[in-house]
Structure 1
């Protein structure tokens, strides 16, 4: 089964691409990390308890107020906007708090992700989409056979789309949210770097492709079709069926894919270190 990692940055159109891939003619199952992230911090879960323990004493509005019909003894859901204001931003304090939050959420999301991957593998799916905003940052690109980055060329377009989608955000809040998910142009470079067997900077290789969302929805559909043609060419469905029907071959292919991806991660890190040393 091919694991397609789908990532991007906020307001680049990743959710729209996910919706397109889950609809005909592709009908691919989607494992949405944002949905899983909500699941693992529902009241009563270990993730919820850890967040309340760490952030509660210094964030008075961390929990939503109880409604008139709510059980006053039941744990109250997290106030996500309040938690977002606490962790989004570039200050040292916010970066530290964001790291704490990620340390709580990411391991739990990984466990749920692996359960979902096993479920879809046993159902004989030829491919599954792993929708993760922080795919590279969390290291989950290591398990992906292909990575798709949804990007825009102009950061101003990204900011305008975010504020149009979420008008309650101030300019500062919008900028903080964009920065918290990293520069999408850096994600583009990482995705294309995975194509080490292809020409540097090409998205015609077997491990990384970019969907540019600078136009309208019709243009975006064309970009998705182009990206899927690349993926189909490099990972045909018959190969996925062969891996499913011959488990030892599937295991070997999975191990090899992981080794290659870890090598790519290490190579990228070394490249980034060299580039910083030149500055």
Structure 2
């Protein structure tokens, strides 16, 4: 490890992106798993080539980019195809994450991963932060934001690690039930703490 690393996670609709952006405003580098997951299947990438080789040109949109909706529908209905896709993409995503973590120049770096604990990626970081809200609030916020029905949001929540387990595993918890001012206050407190920890870390040069 070259930089002191923080893993940031939170369930759907928890406000994880808002929290990540508040850290970024303090000059902290973000390594975002969702962004990397899109990068590894961009036109011309080995990831996209492998998908087209397996499933044909119909997996592409007219602009030669991946038809995500079609792929999602395919893997949703065929567990063996989901396994194949995960086996293809997870190593590519992990490799790019590690590269970006190594290249970070801020005092500490934040790895933003929705399924940090589920995918064992907490092994890549020194400390973990969970953005937490009750399930009922997750459902309300997500269904309003994405214009999807509440049952669909509930099924996504059910497919992930339970709130209790995540709370038990996280080193720090940010409670995002309040307003932005309260959220910013919590982020600034942690930012100061992480700056101190980074100074003391033998990993940081």
The reply to whether TM is greater than 0.5 is: yes
2:19 is the counterpart of 1:22: no
Change (3 A) 1:9 1:52: farther
Change (3 A) 1:100 1:178: farther
Change (3 A) 1:85 1:155: farther
2:95 is the counterpart of 1:111: yes
Gaps of 5+ in 1: 71-75, 192-207, 246-279
Query: Aligned match of 1:82 in 39, 54, 70?
Result: 70
Asked if the contact 1:8–1:150 (Cα under 8 Å) also holds between the matched residues in 2, the reply is yes
| 1:255-270 → structure 2 map (5 Å cutoff) | none
Change (3 A) 1:99 1:160: farther
Gaps of 5+ in 2: none
TM-score, normalised to structure 1, is 0.64
In structure 2, distance between residues paired with 1:79 and 1:179 = 26
2:135 is the counterpart of 1:174: no
| 1:1-279 → structure 2 map (5 Å cutoff) | 1-23=3-25, 26-54=26-54, 56=55, 62-64=59-61, 66=62, 76-87=64-75, 96-120=80-104, 123=105, 125-152=106-133, 154-167=134-147, 169-191=148-170, 208-232=171-195, 235=197, 237-240=198-201, 243-245=203-205
**Match of 1:182, SS?**
coil
**Match of 2:118, SS?**
helix
TM-score, normalised to structure 2, is 0.85
In structure 2, distance between residues paired with 1:176 and 1:224 = 30
Residues 179-237 of structure 1: CA deviation (Å, up to 9, x unaligned): 3443333222222xxxxxxxxxxxxxxxx10111111212211222333344345x1x4
Structure (1 or 2) with the larger CA radius of gyration: 1
Asked if the contact 2:4–2:203 (Cα under 8 Å) also holds between the matched residues in 1, the reply is no
Asked if the contact 2:23–2:191 (Cα under 8 Å) also holds between the matched residues in 1, the reply is no
Change (3 A) 1:106 1:130: same
Change (3 A) 1:173 1:95: farther
Residue 85 of structure 1: how far off its partner (Å): 4.1
